[in-house]
């Protein structure tokens, strides 16, 4: 057994992406170069949504 749990890993990734989104929001509010942070924020949100879909399809492992 490798000790790897796909569902736990996905939950952690989603949590950290949501945390990162807060930092991006701050940067977007504070920086003049908003287009780059806006693009990064959009892509981060899309990645989190894709991971959530993967998690819904994940088969629990023991």
The domain ranges of the chain are: 6-56
At 39, the pLDDT band (50, 70, 90 cuts) reads: confident
Which has more confidence, 54 or 2?
54
pLDDT tens profile 3-35: 888 888 888 988 888 888 888 888 888 877 767
**C-alpha 23: how far from chain center:** 12
**Given this model, what pLDDT does residue 8 score?**
87
What is the rounded distance in angstroms from the CA atom of residue 46 to the CA atom of residue 19? 14
**Given this model, what pLDDT does residue 60 score?**
54
**Given this model, what pLDDT does residue 62 score?**
41
Is the distance from CB of 44 to CB of 35 less than 8 angstroms?
no
What is the rounded distance in angstroms from the CA atom of residue 34 to the CA atom of residue 51? 26
Render the burial of 28-47: b for 16+ CB within 10 Å, e for the rest.
beeeeeeeebeeebeebeee
């Amino acid at each position: 057994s490798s000790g790897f749990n796909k569902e736990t890993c996905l939950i952690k990734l989603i949590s950290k992406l949501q945390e990162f989104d807060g930092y991006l929001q701050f940067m977007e509010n504070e920086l003049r170069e908003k287009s780059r942070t806006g693009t990064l924020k959009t892509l981060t949100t899309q990645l989190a949504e894709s991971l959530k879909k993967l998690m819904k399809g994940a088969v629990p492992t023991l």
